[in-house]
Amino acid sequence: MASSSIGWEELPYARTPLGLDASNLVFKRLDWPKPSSISETYLLSGAATDDDIMRGEETEAIGLLSQIPPTEHCVLILPGTHSKHLLISNGRIETFNTYMTGELFDVLTHHSILKVSTNADAPSSLDTADWKAFDDGVLRAAKSGLGLSLFQTRTRAILKQCPPAQNTRFLSGLLIGAELGDALARMTGAKLLLGGAAHLRNLYARALQVLGAKDFYEFSESQAAKAVPAAHALFLQNVWKR
């Protein structure tokens, strides 16, 4: 991230709550030897609560939410390496939580004993058997929780000869199911909004359906593509106003 300690220049985090008009993002106007074709350059910081941090997702969230009518008391889920769940209330991002779902999938399929029972290079498209394995993972996590479920990826391979490609989907279902099951239990009554990259959005939408949470709003690919430019436009409009 450009505004992180290993980026262009470190900026402090903006603190929640964050206005959905981008009005209280922390930013810095950069002074650099830019070509004349480039106008002003702004660096936007990330956001922090008392015990969580993000860099970039707050911008994606503001851009996504600017494209739909205002929604009160909802949770915006942004799947990824570090999935973010943002609680939107009173027209603001009130707080957020992080689940290391994507990174757990990565380290477990590459570096743990589950490596031999899965295939980290499985194609991103899922066939019927893959979806069945994914659903089984979601349901297992819902029934038994994350800690008691992970090793099932290995025992399915040993005791039931489940092939690595399907077991990869099972593990994916476990991790996503555990994340969403936990969130659904915590956020009862909140409307769910689902953003993120298309492939992950599909998996999360399927998992929500398997978990019986059918009443959620899924952002379209076109809305997802417009999220960051929309947030930047809001931000510039706000900066120029000042």
143 binds its own copies (CB under 8 A): no
112 binds its own copies (CB under 8 A): yes
150 binds its own copies (CB under 8 A): yes
Please, which of residues 156-185 interact with its own copies by CB under 8 A?
156, 158-159, 178-179, 182
Please, which of residues 180-239 interact with its own copies by CB under 8 A?
182
230 pairs with which residues across the strands? none
CB of 159 to its own copies, least distance (A): 6
* 28, amino acid identity: K
Nearest to 179 by CA among 93, 75, 94: 75
Stretch that binds its own copies, among 103-111, 162-170, 191-199, 216-224 (CB under 8 A): 103-111
The values of phi and psi at residue 23, to 5°, are: -75, -25
Residue linked to tokens 């969230």: 61
Edge-to-edge strands, sheet with 14-15: 14-15, 47-48, 53-54
38 binds its own copies (CB under 8 A): no
Q: Which tokens go with 223?
A: 């809305």
CB of 14 to its own copies, least distance (A): 13
Rounded distance, CA 205 to CA 216, Å? 8
* Site residues (vs its own copies, CB under 8 A): 48, 50-53, 82, 97-101, 103-104, 107-108, 110-113, 145-148, 150-152, 154-156, 158-159, 178-179, 182
